[in-house]
């Protein structure tokens, strides 16, 4: 039995700050939450906390765009249908309906805020397709720099509001709770100067987690180095329920580099593999092997535009059969003008490592990209801990099910962040919010830390045993490695409290929960592929796996059947 820490080992807070709402994370979800909170509650003290700089999260790396039914020939119903198909029976239909119904207004709101989306000749949004979409509904900016432009507009709006206090370079540690178990703020470690340096406490009756994903548990990921699962780990330690952790989407087309070059851009712990957007396949690029044979021909009716899990699995099968480390994305048929106009960032990145997409196929391989699971929420972003909210990739609203539909992620952050603001405002007006008074002690039992020197071993084990290909044997071996990493009696290591140890402990916590969920689901569904259970099994597994930590640090797993469709 693996016992996980219920509290991170850390010094007691040396400084404190009070707010009405604290938002943790500065991607599209966190920034949108702040702006809507300021609109709904102009007198509220809103504090935005981010792990590095405001622009260091995953949002800036979103190349493809935002999915929304904005075309005359499209509709929310069509968008909903595509979302449910991609989710392979596990989407929460109510949450998905909220997403597609409210999404168009949120996208138009972004444009009004100043986001410069690409436009057609008549001034309307220029729309394209991505995998799994049967309509052109992907709004993009700068060709393939959508996330960067969205982030620019949101950060400018937040910076322009002097009432929003921002704390950068702050790693969130643990949730503070009051005597009734409600959220009462969070402890942070700030790499700053003066009174805010080191561990401190921010008290607030409402805490919004928008901390992003956990791709850094794998050796190869498109996620930035800050994506170490901090929010999910915090929620587990606080007793919140997490859901669907087994469903990690591997992007089929991360730029593959030889080991020597890869070490310079992201193979080391904390690294990030460059992404080759799915939108390139939406424009007509195709996957081929070294001989030029089409990889997706006959594998799915949508061929290269099949859902990402289908493409990643087929690529993995072909790579294993041929004994190769990568395949190729051939975009040469698009022509130089289209490639350079539509995909300037990808073109520049490829050329920087000696690959010219205009004249050469691009070497690509699957990499961990997006966590469909996370902290379980309802339709208003509320978790199972009162006063604690979650939105964006850290959350599991149920909209993605077993596999996220392309470009629904940015939309989810927009839609549910706005809903959280509405709910907090409603609670404020109803008198349900009150001053936050954390219960003592702030630092409790179960504060064991994991040795950060073993991070590479963790990511290798996760990639080998719980990556695209999984089986009972591989998951059992991975669980054994994770258990050993936490036993300091075996390693003999002395772990010093600090950011490396806290991040490593978070990585081990979320990795352990993910492996437990993946071992429980004995079927293949969406982005969860079991080699030993290769078929979807609706008779036994049409339900969601819920995970939580009990007060002693033991993982508790339950399966919740899906509600019958209305």
Q: Where are the domains of the chain?
A: 253-365, 450-546
> How, if at all, do strands 21-24 and 46-49 pair?
parallel
363 pLDDT tier (thresholds 50, 70, 90)? very high
Please report the pLDDT score of residue 217 as a whole number: 96
pLDDT tens digits for 254-299?
A: 998 775 554 444 434 556 788 898 889 989 999 999 999 999 999 9
CATH number belonging to the domain at 253-365, selected among 3.20.20.10, 3.40.630.40, 3.90.550.10, 3.90.700.10: 3.90.700.10
Q: What is the mean pLDDT of residues 521-531?
A: 95
Rounded alpha-carbon distances, angstroms, from residue 84 to 206, 234, 461:
32, 30, 32
More confident residue, 60 or 97: 97
- Over residues 330-355, mean pLDDT: 94
Q: And the tokens for 513?
A: 């929960």
Give residue for tokens 């966590």: 371
Per CATH, domain 450-546 is 1.10.3720.10: no
Of 75-84, 184-193, 348-357, 471-480, least confident by mean pLDDT is: 184-193
Q: What is the mean pLDDT of the chain?
A: 89
pLDDT for 563:
77
Mean pLDDT in residue range 47-51: 95
Residue 209 has pLDDT above 70, yes or no: yes
Mean pLDDT of 497-517: 96
When pLDDT is averaged across residues 9-16 and rounded to a whole number, the result is 89
What pLDDT is attached to residue 145?
80
Residue 483, classified by CB atoms within 10 Å of its CB into exposed (0-12), middle (13-18) or buried (19+), is middle
Asked whether residue 27 carries a pLDDT value surpassing 70, the answer given is yes
Q: At what angle do helices 499-520 and 230-237 cross, to 10 degrees?
A: 80
Give me the active site residues, please. Answer: 308
Percentage of the chain modeled with pLDDT above 70: 91
Per-residue pLDDT at 523 exceeds 90:
yes
Residue 547: pLDDT above 80?
yes
Per-residue model confidence (pLDDT) at position 400? 96
- For residue 564, what are the contacts with CB-CB under 8 A and spacing of at least 6? none
């Amino acid at each position: 039995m693996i016992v996980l820490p219920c509290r991170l080992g850390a010094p007691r807070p040396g400084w404190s700050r009070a707010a009405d709402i604290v938002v943790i994370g500065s991607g599209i979800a966190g920034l949108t939450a702040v702006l809507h909170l300021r609109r709904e509650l102009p007198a509220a003290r809103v504090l935005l906390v981010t792990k590095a700089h405001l622009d260091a999260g995953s949002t800036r790396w979103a190349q493809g765009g935002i999915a929304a039914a904005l075309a005359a020939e499209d509709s929310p119903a069509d968008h909903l249908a595509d979302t449910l198909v991609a989710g392979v029976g596990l989407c929460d239909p109510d949450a998905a309906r909220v997403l597609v119904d409210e999404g168009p207004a949120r996208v138009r709101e972004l444009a009004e805020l100043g986001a410069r989306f690409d436009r057609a000749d008549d001034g309307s949004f220029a729309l394209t397709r991505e995998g799994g979409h049967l309509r052109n509904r992907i709004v993009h900016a700068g060709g393939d720099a959508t996330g960067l432009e969205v982030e620019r507009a949101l950060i400018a709006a937040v910076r322009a509001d002097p009432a929003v206090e921002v704390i950068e370079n702050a790693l969130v540690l643990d949730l503070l709770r009051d005597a009734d178990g409600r959220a009462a703020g969070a402890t942070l470690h700030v790499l700053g100067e003066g009174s805010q340096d080191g561990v401190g406490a921010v008290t607030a009756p409402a805490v919004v987690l928008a901390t992003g994903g956990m791709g850094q548990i794998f050796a190869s990921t498109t996620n930035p180095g800050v994506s170490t699962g901090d929010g999910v780990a915090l929620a587990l330690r606080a007793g919140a329920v997490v859901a669907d952790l087994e469903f990690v989407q591997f992007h089929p087309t991360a730029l593959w580099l030889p080991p020597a070059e890869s070490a310079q851009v992201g193979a080391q712990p904390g690294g990030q593999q460059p992404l080759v957007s799915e939108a390139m396949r939406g424009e007509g690029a195709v996957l081929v092997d070294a001989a030029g044979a089409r990889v997706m021909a006959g594998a799915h009716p949508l061929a290269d535009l099949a859902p990402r899990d289908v493409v990643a699995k087929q690529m993995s099968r072909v790579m294993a059969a041929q004994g190769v480390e990568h395949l190729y994305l051939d975009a040469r048929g698009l022509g130089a003008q289209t490639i350079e106009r539509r995909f300037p960032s990808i073109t520049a990145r490829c050329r920087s490592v000696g690959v010219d997409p205009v004249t050469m196929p691009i070497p690509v391989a699957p990499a961990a990209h997006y966590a469909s699971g996370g902290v379980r929420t309802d339709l208003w972003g509320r978790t199972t801990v009162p006063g604690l909210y979650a939105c964006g990739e850290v959350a599991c609203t149920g909209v993605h099910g077993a596999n996220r539909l392309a470009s629904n992620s940015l939309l989810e952050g927009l839609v549910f962040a706005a809903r959280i603001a509405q709910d907090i405002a409603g609670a404020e007006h109803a008198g349900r919010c009150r001053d936050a008074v954390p219960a003592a002690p702030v630092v409790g039992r179960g504060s064991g830390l994991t040795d950060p020197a073993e991070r590479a071993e963790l990511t290798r084990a996760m990639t080998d045993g719980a990556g695209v290909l999984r089986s009972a044997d591989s998951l059992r071996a991975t669980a054994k490695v994770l258990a050993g990493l936490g036993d300091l009696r075996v390693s003999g290591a002395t772990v010093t409290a600090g950011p490396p140890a806290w991040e490593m402990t978070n990585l081990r916590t979320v990795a352990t929960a993910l492996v437990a969920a993946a071992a429980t689901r004995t079927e293949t569904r969406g982005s969860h592929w079991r080699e030993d259970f290769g078929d979807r099994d609706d008779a036994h597994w049409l339900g969601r796996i819920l995970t939580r930590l009990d007060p002693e640090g033991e993982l508790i797993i339950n399966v919740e059947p899906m509600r019958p469709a209305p």
